[in-house]
Structure 1
């Protein structure tokens, strides 16, 4: 009994210690989750030809990151002009480890645009977050950031895909429908509210026919959003198509779309080609049978009339029970057939009649 009580007290003490540890770690864990991924630099300034170490934490394990030095950038506002303002040839790639951290050395290069400059870290696969850290390139020109135009700048950050599937009606020629899904980031300095995209489809050498599709929402500067836009083909369309999405006169998305042939329509026409001629042939045979002289109907009526005449003209012969014929005198008995009267009945020939040959 004493041992059992000691075990209970030890278990209660261990549970209290674990609860205290969780309460102590919970604020730091929540703060780390709220802050998101972070990036740190070994030095905030460097000249061309030098080298810096870029490290980070809080990223998704296994994610592939792109590291660039960009001009006309500011932390929290993004890079004006996107990756066109970055030293792309001197960029580096990094893979996040199992703990969500990375560390990568990269050379210091002069971007094609003037500073203020940033080290731009963006997720390529596995995570689409973007983090910019201020960095000074020694000896590189500096210029004020361009003034905001008020339209914002959207760029595609993630891979494009088509979502949805074809139903049974599409197999019979109904219009095929999909949703084109992609992620965009606002690289400008002003929010983009309710952007209007133009979605079009092209087949072969024909140019796409665009239709307006408005997305409801606001994309803040330096933020991203997932866009879903419906796209539809004409009835019976099949083959290889190209889905294009434009914004502000610039093509953002080009996605191939292969549409299968509506075999249900082909099957329908094949059945129609067999059933209709057979039905017409049957109708024609019925019409010919009724219209032609001496047809089946006339033959049947004439046959009925012939049978009726036969029944009238043919005398009814009663059949009697077969009985043994009475003995009669062959010399005087005469046979009278039904269609002769007794007066006109021929006389029976005598049993002994000389033949002409015998007289000779």
Structure 2
């Protein structure tokens, strides 16, 4: 049985707050802002306004300076994140034009060059994470099979296995680089990614030979939108959960729409993300399970509410996470005061074995 752990937090994912105006345009400014709201850490996207990951891969003094920058405000870096970059590791041609915006202009219109650029960024992030003293990295898997998620028209035999074999081939060298760095790659299990539920994660894991660095970023909001049991998911996959986005959601179907949402905007969908505490997710159950299974990572607030101002979400999010973190007991049990004190021989006697 894993040892109970007190989850670290609160941290906040900075990607939703990155702007071109102070204090949201520098790591120093965002760290100061996050600290003022009560956060203890920041999840830093691999954006050149915040970090030069290629320099960080080779320059320990630069990484020390980055850590010093955030620690000056009483926070630390919980993880680096490369969701947009990870997406570019595998892009189905149907999405080329839309995802081109995630890459520098020089690589747009050239899917192979774009993939090679993204792979290079991931290699750099592995080294950067090690120099920064991090244990987990947040990303997306990308998707080759997603356009075929619903089996109509009938999928040709071998299509899904071929897609996952290719996805695994692209990620395996990256996973090996992170393994060398001692850092877990935490794929956010997310609709539109090929890794979007437990079954698809298991399929990927099989294709990468059970790679020990192929791990999970757990975000229950995505499971509510798919109507997946997000608490049972922890029971099944807790050994692979190494990162955690704290994000709320609700699912309110009616006679006109359900999971697929009828192409409506976020405010009108049956399933939509909400500010922490405004949705339907049982966070007490989630934090209890993660503490029970020995989750050693951070609880990271992510603000993508369809209604509430993101600044308000951040303020409320820090306090929400603090209230839900369980300071676990040390050695012993809650009912030790009522212990019998029997020795091993005494136990055998009680059982009538002596």
Give the TM-score of the pair, scaled to structure 1.
Answer: 0.26
- Structure having the larger proportion of residues in helix: 2
Larger Rg: 1
Q: Which has more strand, going by share of residues?
A: 1
Taking structure 2 as the reference length, the TM-score comes to 0.26
